[in-house]
Structure 1
Amino acid sequence: MIAIIGSEAPGRLQWAMTMGAHAQLLKPVGNNGIYAALLVARSNFDRDHASQAQIAGLETRLSARQTVVQAVMIFVMRGKTEAQAYEALRQIAMAWRVTIEDAAARVVASNANERVQDDSACHG
């Protein structure tokens, strides 16, 4: 977005940035500055888009940390040290060619399925 503003007053510039403008043009719009404003706007838009994607990815990974801890605890309960548990999870992720978070989710789900099957066998 390119804001077309009537003055370069600090309040007007702040308003344009708050509205999400990636660049500004001063009225009256003439031949000067249009190409530069387009380049700046595109560059700022691309940077914003990349930052938003990176933040979303980090938020997803952060929300999956609890699952990673659960997977590590499953390995610890099976007799591994914490370091061995993290290494086992890393090896599984590499073997499956998935992220640590995805591997942890599979380990936790698999453990839950094993518990359900064990409970069925005990009560069956």
Structure 2
Amino acid sequence: MERILTPSYQLSGNDFSCEFSYLLEDGKKCVAKELIEVIDEENQLVRFKIIDGDLLKEFKSFTLTVHVLPRGELTGVKWISEFEKIDESVPYPTKLIDFCIAVTKDIETHHLNEAKTEAAKTE
């Protein structure tokens, strides 16, 4: 399932942003524009700040950090979401968390398939 649709990237000075549509697990189509605040290659960490889109209808601010954690032959991924709800009636963003988990699984599947393809070439 394609989860991220029609990405559009913009570079303005030192600011790098991405605008895209995405599908939640329930099939709802949403839009977001994010500013990439941090790319830390040494620590394998990227932080995105949502600056426009559906999330800001319910949240005053929303930031996502993805951190890749090598553990020997295994690799873990930690997602950190920081947000401020517009008011207390707004539910926690569990659908977005489910989306992040699904994207992580998609990336894992892609990398496993690449590894299998590379291994087959060397046989």
Q: What is the TM-score with the length of structure 1 in the denominator?
A: 0.33
Name the structure where strand makes up a greater proportion of residues. Answer: 2
- Please report the TM-score for the alignment, with normalisation by the length of structure 2: 0.33
Structure possessing the higher relative contact order (Cα contacts under 8 Å, 6 or more residues apart): 1
